[in-house]
Each structure stands twice: as structure tokens, then as C-alpha cells.
Amino acid sequence: MDSRPTGGRRDRMREATVREIHQTARTLLVTKGSAAVTINAVAREMGMSGPSLYHYYASRDALVDAVTADFFAELAEAMERDRDKHAGAPLGDRFLAACRAMRAWAVAYPAEFEWIFASPVGGAQHRPDSARHRAGLRFAHVFIDMIVEVWNARPFPVPDLNDLPEAMREQLRAYSRLIDGRLPAEAVHVYVTCWSRLYGLLCLEVLHQMDFVLTDMEPLFEQCLGELSDMLGFTLVTD
């Protein structure tokens, strides 16, 4: 006989139901699109009533927040795993491995990538205590922490802030303060440039916006990695 407290069993049953809710929402997303992910649709697929599912999530925004957190965590884990495979290698190798892992995840899970990066989500994402916000920060730190490590090991070339528009200078300084000065404003500009190129290229690929000329985006992605490597001062390592 199981002598564990009933509360523990209830908790496990609730966790199992939450996992099923998330998986059902993901299946609806992949097969029918983001608009199909609603409380009632998830409940219907699971054989539950809408009111029953509201015991787990009070609104669609809350469900979106939780599912998005799952996707961010999965992406971050993939990037961390490939980065850490190169634990003894130069920092550039680890950085490029994480970037390639991000692309591999995006290509393998385009609906999920679009859900977290290319579609608006509810206001819950902006709450520092939200699951989505915390998971998003974990993902972001995979990228920015390595940029900081590069900077601390050997500062890379940066622009003169005076050559940038005033509005941009103020935003770069504000972000530098937000990350406790781990990167000066000039280096934040390089970080933002790297991220925008990487992210923009992945969006173009996942959303099939380049299919009219390139159906295989890997060579262009590798070219982008070469450019980022030059900006950050390390050598591109090809697979």
C-alpha cells in the first residue's frame, strides 16, 4: 500500500494534467494554428469541460504564458546543451554552437518559434513574476552572457557613441544600466546588432520569406555567423 500523503498524489495528478494541457495546446498550435489554442478547444480535445480547465488556468492569457514558458525553456536547454558540448573549447566555438542549436530548434519547431517570437502574446509576459518572463530571461542570458564573456576576455571593436543618433545612445545606456553595466553602451550596440541579424534571419527562414530565392538557408546562416564572428573577434569554426 502506498503510504505517501494523499496531498502528494494529488499534486502528481495535477502536474500530469498540466503537462497534458500543455501538450494538447502545442498539438493544436502545430496542427491548426495559434488562433485554435483556446481554453475551450484544449478542454474539448482532452475530454474536459471548459469550466474544469479554468481550475488550472484562469484565462487564455495565463495558458499562453505557461505554454510560451515551456517553449522558451526547451529552446534554452537545446542551446545550453550544444554550448556545453564544447565546454573545453574556445568561447567562439561555444557561442557558434549555441547559435546553430537555436537555428536547429527553430527549423524543427517552426510553429513554436513563431508562437514565441513572431506573434503577439498577452500582457502577462511583461510581469517579472510571470513564468514566460522568467523563461524568456533564461533564453536571453544564453546569448548575452556569452557576449559579456567575450567582452571581458577581449573587448571587441565598438562604435563611437557620438556617431550614433541621440535617441539610440540613450536607449543603449538605459539597457547597459538594466544589465548592471556588464556591457558598456557601445558594446550593447554590438550585442543588439548581432542579435537582430541572427533573429531576423531565423524569422525569414521560419516564415518562408526567402523561399522565392533560397529554399536552403543554411549557407546564408553560416555566412551570418561568419559576420558575427568578425564583429566579436573570434574565428568561425565550420562543422
Give 11's pLDDT tier (boundaries 50, 70, 90): confident
Give 235's pLDDT tier (boundaries 50, 70, 90): low
Give the separation between CA 93 and CA 8, rounded to whole angstroms: 44
Contacts 24+ apart (CB under 8 A), 145-154: 146/83, 146/91, 146/94, 146/95, 146/98, 147/183, 147/187, 147/190, 147/191, 147/194, 147/232, 148/182, 148/183, 149/91, 150/91, 150/92, 150/95, 150/232, 150/233, 150/234, 151/183, 151/187, 153/91, 154/233
Which cell numbers in the block locate residue 16? 500530469
CB 62 within 8 A of CB 202: no
Which cell numbers in the block locate residue 98? 549555441
Identify the residue with better confidence: 133 or 33: 33
Give the separation between CA 13 and CA 42, rounded to whole angstroms: 18
What pLDDT, in 10s, does the model give residues 96-150? 999 999 999 999 999 999 999 865 544 444 566 778 888 888 899 999 999 999 9
Q: Is the pLDDT of residue 6 over 80?
A: no
Identify the residue with better confidence: 128 or 191: 191
Q: What average pLDDT does range 187-208 have in this prediction? A: 95
What percentage of the chain reaches a pLDDT higher than 90? 70
Q: Can you give the three-state secondary structure of the chain, one letter per residue?
A: CCCCCHHHHHHHHHHHHHHHHHHHHHHHHHHHCHHHCCHHHHHHHHCCCHHHHCCCCCCHHHHHHHHHHHHHHHHHHHHHHHHHCCCCCCHHHHHHHHHHHHHHHHHHCHHHHHHHHHCCCCHHHHCCCCHHHHHHHHHHHHHHHHHHHHHHHCCCCCCCHHHCCHHHHHHHHHHHHHCCCCCCHHHHHHHHHHHHHHHHHHHHHHCCCCCCCCCCCHHHHHHHHHHHHHHHCCCCCCC
Q: What average pLDDT does range 165-178 have in this prediction? A: 95
Give the separation between CA 207 and CA 145, rounded to whole angstroms: 28
Q: Is the pLDDT of residue 2 over 60?
A: no
Q: What average pLDDT does range 6-19 have in this prediction? A: 81
Q: Is the pLDDT of residue 80 over 70?
A: yes
* Positive or negative torsion for Cα 38, 41, 44, 50: positive
Q: What is the pTM of this model?
A: 0.87
